Structure 1
C-alpha cells in the first residue's frame, strides 16, 4: 500500500540527569561519576542518552566557548560509547526543570534579543557549530537539538520574554539548524518546543515549524499540562497524550514518512501516583508505539534529582527511572521490558486509516490551535475516538479533501469533530 509506513528500528533511551550535582556537574566534571551513571542506564538495556550542556558554562562570553567544557562533553560521549549508548546533544540550555540558564552577555546591562539580535544569533550559531563539530567524528553521536524548549523565552507566561513574530521564529530556527548541519553534516539535527507551540493561540513558534524544520519532529509529552488534572492519571486521554502529539504533528508534516521522536515523556507525581508509574509507563509507551513513523522514545529522566538541591518544583525530584543512588524504580523495569521486547524487531504498526479533521484557522499560523489543547473540542474528540479503539490519525482541514495527501498517508475515512459523539 502506498500509505504503508517505512519500517524503522525503534530507539529507547533516556534524558541523562547526572546524580552528582544535576546539570551543575559541568562545573565539577567527574568522569568516574558520569561513568557510574551511564552504567546504571546501560543496565536497563537502553540504547541512547540525550545530554544537556549548560549554555552559560560552555559559552560564558559571546566570543569564548570554553575548550575544556567541550572536551568534557566529548569525554561524556566517549564514555557513553564504551557502554553501547548513542548520544544526542542539546545546545542552548536554556531552560531545564523550571530554571533558566542564559549567559550574562544576553541579560540585564547586556540585554539583547535572544532570537533577533545579530551578535547574539552569531554567537549562538558558532556555539552550536562548535559542539556539533567536536562530536562529528564520533560514531555514537546522533545529532544536535537546538535547545530544550527554547520557545518558552518568546512569549507569556515567561516573566521576561523576548517577543518575536512567527516569521522571526522560523528564521531563527533555520539559522540554528544550519549551524548544527555545518558542524556535523548529515546528523539528526532538530529542534524541540514545549506545549505552547502546539496549544497556545498566537505563540510565535508553531506546529508547522515543529513538523517541517529539522531532520525529525520532536514531541515532549507532559500530562501535568492539564491533561492528568482534567481526566485523571489512568484515563485514555492521559495515557494517549504522547500518541496524540505524535499524530497531531503528522498532520502538518510535508513528508508523510517524517520520523517523530518522543523526546521527553515522564510520569509526574502526584498527578501520576508513584504506585501507578509503571502502569502509566507501559500504557503510554504502548500507545506511542502504535503510531507509524515513530523514531523512538526517550524517557524523562534517568535519575532522580538529589534532595540536597533546593528550590525545584516538587514533581521534578522524583521523575527519574532510577533513584539518585542509581537504584532502578518500577517504571525503569517497565521501560526495560519494553526495550527488550523490541530489540532487533522492526517497527511496523498498522496504518491509521481513520483521520479526524483539525481546523486551526490556517496551517501556518494556527491562530485557533487551542482547540488541540486538553479540554479543547478537537482534543476531546480525538481522545474519545482513541478510547473507543479507533486509532485516529489527524488531517488538516486544508488537506481533508486532497486525495493524493490522504492516499499517501493511507487514510480512507475522514471524520469531523461533529461526527464524534
Structure 2
C-alpha cells in the first residue's frame, strides 16, 4: 500500500504569444501567468524554450537565451513552483522547431548524425550547468516528445537507444546531483505504435523515471468510446499501469506528464468531470510520481494554423480567465492532498502478449486495451504484466501480484 501524495502541476504555455514569446521575453508577463498557476494550488510546472533560439548554430549556444530560461525558473521560485526544464524543442503543439543547421542544404538527421547528437548533448550539458544551483529545479528532460520528429528523421530502435543514452548521460553531466531528475518523454506511439522506433522499453528503462502522455485523441479514444466512457476516464490510470509493466524495476515511478481535455474530443461541459476522474483514477496507482496537466493557458486564436484542439487545452483562457476545469482541477488536488489515497496493491494482473509489430493491441481499439477496460469496469483494478514475466514468482511478488489472467488467445489463470 502507498499513501504518499503525488505531485500536481501544469505544463506552462505563455498566455501572450505562446512559445514565440521567447523572442521578446517579458518577465512581468511570465510573473502574472505563474501567479495564476500557483493560485490553483499546483506545485510545479514544466517549461520549454525553443531549440533554434537556444542553439542557432551547431557550435553556438546563446547565453542570452539560456539566461532567459534561468530567469523563468527564478520567477517560478518566487511563485512557490518547482520546475522541470525540457531541453530540445523540437516539437510543440503540432509545430516542429529545428535550427537552420539541421535543415535545407545543411540537413542532418537529429537522431543519427554524430555531430548533431553531440550538439544536442552540449546544449543539455550547458542548460544543466546553468540551472544546477536553482533550489526549485526538479530536473532536466531531453525534450518534448522527441519521437514526433521521426517522420523527418528516419531512425531505428537501436539508433534511438544510442541517442537517448548519449543525451541522458550529457544531461546528468550537467546535473550531477542525485536529487535532480534526468528524464525523457515520448508521445503515445512509443506504447501503441506497431514498429515505432521509440519503444516502451526505452521509455520505461532509461532515465530516472517513466513519463507517459496518455492523450484521449490517441487511437481516437474519446471518439471511439465517448468522452464520458470508462475508457477515457481511466486512460491515465491505464497508461500508468502499462508503463509499469515494461519497467525493469518493479518500484520505478511513473509520471503522467501530459494529459488534458481537448475540444471537441472532450466537450467543455464534460471537462471538469474528466479532470476530476483522471486525477482520482491515476492516484489509485502505486508509484505514481505525479500528474502534470496540459496546459496552463489556451493558445490565443489570434495565432494561426494550430489544430482546433490546441486552442482549448488551457486551464485559463487567452484573456487569463480561469475556466471551470481549473476549479475542478484545483479542488481535486486539494482533496487528494487533504486525504491522501492509499493506492491499493493490484493483486490481479492482465497478461500482455505482444511484439514490436503488434504493439497496437495495447492501444485504444486493441484487444488487450479493451480487455483491461472491461475488467476495470467490473470493479477490478488490474495491473499489467508482460507475458515473459507472467510466471516469474519473484517478480510478481515484488509487485504484489497474486493472480495473472490471460484474456487471449486462451483464457488461463496463474496463481503465484
TM-score by length of 1: 0.95
Within the candidate set 346, 358, 364, 1:368 is matched to: 358
Alignment pair present for 1:83 and 2:74: no
Q: 1:128 to 1:344 in 2, by over 3 A?
A: farther
Structure 1 partner of 2:91: 95
Across the two proteins, how many residue pairs are aligned to each other? 407
Q: Deviations over 1:254-275 (max 9, x none)?
A: 1111110000000011111101
Note the C-alpha offset of 1:39: 0.6
| Cα drift, residue 344 of structure 1 | 6.4
Asked whether the equivalents of residues 40 and 327 of structure 2 are also in contact (C-alpha less than 8 Å), the reply is yes
CA contact (8 A) 1:9 1:344 kept: no
Q: Deviations over 1:57-88 (max 9, x none)?
A: 11111111110111111110001001110000
CA deviation after TM superposition for structure 1 residue 348, in Å: 3.2
Report whether the alignment pairs 1:300 with 2:291. Answer: no
1:46 to 42, 45, 58: 42
Out of 261, 273, 287, the position equivalent to 1:267 is: 261
Give the Cα–Cα distance (whole angstroms) in 2 for the partners of residues 100 and 167 of structure 1. Answer: 23
1:394 aligns with 2:384: yes
Q: Which residue pairs with 1:69 in the alignment?
A: 65
* 1:10 and 1:347 in contact (8 A); partners too: no
* Per-residue Cα deviation, 1:278-325 (whole angstroms, up to 9, x for no partner): 011111111111111100010000001111111111110010001112
Cα distance in 1 for partners of 2:101, 2:340 equals: 47
Matched residue, 2:163: 172
State the Cα distance separating 1:367 from its structure 2 match: 2.6
Match 1:150 to one of 126, 138, 146 = 146
Counterpart-to-counterpart distance in 2, 1:180 and 1:342: 33
Equivalence for 1:203: 196
Residue 138 (structure 1) aligned with residue 129 (structure 2): no
CA distance in 1, matches of 2:304, 2:252: 41
> Contact 1:356 / 1:395 at 8 angstroms: preserved in 2?
yes
Q: Which residue of structure 2 lines up, in the alignment, with residue 106 of structure 1?
A: 102
Is residue 70–residue 130 contact of structure 2 (8 Å, CA) maintained in 1? yes
The alignment's C-alpha RMSD in Å is: 1.2
Report the equivalent of 1:317: 311
Distance in 1 (CA, whole Å) between partners of 2:149 and 2:75 is 33
2:14 to 18, 32, 43: 18
Identify which of structures 1 and 2 has the higher relative contact order when contacts are C-alpha pairs closer than 8 Å and 6+ apart: 1
Q: Residue 346 of structure 1: CA displacement?
A: 5.3
Q: Report deviation, 1:183.
A: 0.5
Tell me the distance in 2 between the aligned counterparts of 1:417 and 1:101: 43
Q: Does 1:404 align with 2:394?
A: yes
Give the secondary-structure state (helix, strand or coil) at the position aligned to 1:309: coil
Q: Distance in 2 between matches of 1:235 and 1:341?
A: 23
- Aligned equivalent of 2:335: 341
Q: Does 1:189 align with 2:185?
A: no
User: Are 1:58 and 1:70, in contact at CA under 8 Å, matched by a contact in 2?
Assistant: yes
CA distance in 2, matches of 1:321, 1:128: 30
Give, in whole Å, the separation in 1 of the partners of 2:124 and 2:378.
Answer: 45
Deviation at 1:229, TM superposition (A): 1.1
- 8 Å contact kept, 2:96–2:149: no
**For residues 173 and 346 of structure 1, what CA distance do their matches in structure 2 show?**
35
Segments of structure 1 that go 5 or more residues without pairing to the other structure are: none
* TM-score, length basis structure 2: 0.96
> Within 1, Cα distance between the matches of 2:247 and 2:321?
40
CA deviation vs aligned residue, 1:34-53 (integer Å, no higher than 9, x gap): 00000110110100000001
Aligned to 2:277: 283
Please state whether the residue corresponding to 1:307 is helix, strand or coil: coil
Change (3 A) 1:173 1:288: same
